Structure 1
Amino acid sequence: MMSERLENKCRALIEEHKYVECEKVIVMSMIKMPHSAVPHNLMGILLEKEHNHILAMRHFRAAYGLDPAYVPARYNLDHYGEVFPTGLRQCAYTEEDCPVTKDSYLNM
């Protein structure tokens, strides 16, 4: 699946602090898949890593708006939207990164 490769590629680029290259990959994905939640979620993660919280939240909301069933977007929206965050902030690139089940988010 293309999005899994995209998610893994972006995770690697972000971990290597190659933010400019990652942004280019995400933007190209947005052009190719304009109605997909995945690139918006990834852009939100990238922006959080760049300490641009307000824009990151906009992309998490866009991802959620495009696909409310896409668990990583909902997880990141909730997780980064906490007023008083607890613990280390872990971002969700894929559903496997979410410590809760998909059903628990769909039932909210």
Structure 2
Amino acid sequence: MLRSINEESSFENNIKEAINAIKSNEYDLARKYLYAGMIENDHSAEVYNLLGIISEYKRDESMACTYYRAAYVFDPTYKPADKNLERVTSFFYIFNKTSIDYGDTIEEECEKSCFAEYSGMQIGNLKNIQVDRKSAC
């Protein structure tokens, strides 16, 4: 069955509903949405990241690490799982709801353009090209 471009897939809908359920402290409902999402894509880093978040909310940090690592295995470029794993495995870890990355926000990446500048002794130095944006990057 073909879907229109604007029609949201049930996988994406399940992920959004799971995030809303987690934020509302309805973990069993969130798991149901995630398991439904697994039927469509059982190797999704998003699903395992959210399962890790549920485990973290339930204060089971070792299981949360397992889920975050699974998410990383399925997609090493998925930054929310990487951030969550780094946070949980930190020596100074303290549970904090505000630092959890659900993966529901779009992260803006800064691209720096560099060029090589050579001095008189054929020693190259990389220099950043200034960009007309106000950014910390």
TM-score scaled by length of structure 1: 0.77
The structure where helix makes up a greater share of residues is: 1
| 3-state SS in 2 of match to 1:83 | coil
Residue type at the aligned position of 1:93 = Y
Larger radius of gyration: 2
Aligned to 1:52: 60
Aligned to 1:93: 102
Offset from partner CA, 1:4-58 (integer Å, 9 cap, x none): 5344322211121111111111122123211211100010011111111111110
Find runs of 4+ consecutive structure 1 residues off by over 6 angstroms: none
Name the CA distance, whole Å, in 2 between partners of 1:95 and 1:9: 11
Closer/same/farther in 2, CA of residues 7 and 91 from structure 1, 3 Å limit? farther
Any gaps of 5 or more consecutive residues in structure 2?
Answer: 1-7, 112-137
Closer/same/farther in 2, CA of residues 4 and 86 from structure 1, 3 Å limit? same
Closer/same/farther in 2, CA of residues 8 and 95 from structure 1, 3 Å limit? closer
The RMSD of aligned alpha carbons is: 2.6
TM-score scaled by length of structure 2: 0.63
Give identity over the alignment, percent.
27
Any gaps of 5 or more consecutive residues in structure 1?
Answer: 104-108
Between the two proteins, the alignment pairs up a number of residues equal to: 102
